Amino acid sequence: MSVKLIVLKLGGSVITDKKKLSTPNLEAIERMADEISQAKVSSLILVHGGGSFGHQVAKQYNLAEGYRDPSQVIGFSETHRAMTKLNILVMEALINHNINAIVVQPSSCVVTKAGRIQSIELKPMKKMLNMGLVPVLYGDAVLDSEKGFAILSGDQLVASLAINFGASRIIMGGDVDGLYTADPKSGCSAKLVQRVTLEDLKNQKHEIKGSKATDVTGGMLGKMRELIPAIEQNIQTLIVNATKPLRVYKAIKGEEVIGTIIEKG
């Protein structure tokens, strides 16, 4: 696979209003599509989060805990439907900006075991990348060989795809400038960490927490835990604030940008 492959994640905090149920941030989606298009990246996989679309429905039916009774099954359908509604808005914006985007639905190509990816169908995506297409995936409800079903986070997908396709870089676009010494939304003074090593992360040098918003898959703490295996494979990871114009563009171009670089060490 191309050594130039970038796996880009657009956080649910960016493309939706996490405080309002099923509310997209159309302006942000449009701007993201524009920045990605302007950056003219040669090989790209895009993953987006669920924000106020997937998480609330998944929580309502306790999907993350797995299958307990038949009344949850409709919750699986509804969670997936909520995600497809958000995904279609992202797809429209991408294709309108001449990005060769193609949806890859995780619920149809991933099976998890106790919430961890057990199998993922990579062949079509490999061919898509070779064809110059941009596979677009998202956090989704998936079937689980142990629990019945599970919620697969976009973050887990990012790491798995980056490792499987030998990506050169991961860019995580979120609603904060990067990794801080503490949760920047907690009210206490937190400093942006510009560069961090795997060892720093493992030693929990910084106070990393979950998300304040309804999020069944874990905030910044969940993100870091998921990314560690990819960073271990020497895939450079950059966290930037995608709610601020041109940060994602600069990150894709490899230009200097405010954010956090995470390296193996």
- Distance between the two ends of the chain, CA-based, in angstroms? 24
x/- track of binding to ligand ADP for residues 13-52 (CB under 6 A): xx----------------------------------x-x-
Contact 21, 46 (CB under 8 A): no
11 part of the interface to ligand ADP, by CB under 6 A: yes
x/- track of binding to ligand ADP for residues 155-174 (CB under 6 A): -------------------x
Give the binding range for ligand ADP (CB under 6 A) out of 7-15, 36-44, 103-111, 157-165: 7-15
Distances from the Cα of 7 to the Cα of 73, 103, 168, 178, 205, angstroms: 31, 15, 8, 17, 26
At its nearest, how many Å lie between ligand ADP and the CB of residue 227? 12
For residue 28, the surrounding DSSP H or E stretch is helix 26-39
Residues of span 213-232 touching ligand ADP by CB under 6 A: 213, 215, 219-220
State phi, psi for 184 to the nearest 5 degrees.
-65, -15
For residue 27, the surrounding DSSP H or E stretch is helix 26-39
Residue in 1, 111, 182, 198 binding ligand ADP, rule: CB under 6 A = 182
175 part of the interface to ligand ADP, by CB under 6 A: yes
Residues 147-157: b if buried by 16+ CB within 10 A, e if exposed: bebbbbbbbbb
Per DSSP (E only), the strands in the chain are: 6-10, 44-48, 101-103, 110-113, 116-120, 134-138, 140-144, 148-152, 169-174, 195-197, 236-241, 260-263
State phi, psi for 178 to the nearest 5 degrees.
160, -150
Give the binding range for ligand ADP (CB under 6 A) out of 39-47, 110-118, 162-170, 182-190: 182-190
At its nearest, how many Å lie between ligand ADP and the CB of residue 15? 9
Comparing CB distances to ligand ADP, the nearer of 64 and 122 is 64
64 part of the interface to ligand ADP, by CB under 6 A: no
Q: Which residues bind ligand ADP (CB under 6 A)?
A: 11-14, 49, 51, 174-176, 179-180, 182-185, 206-209, 211, 213, 215, 219-220
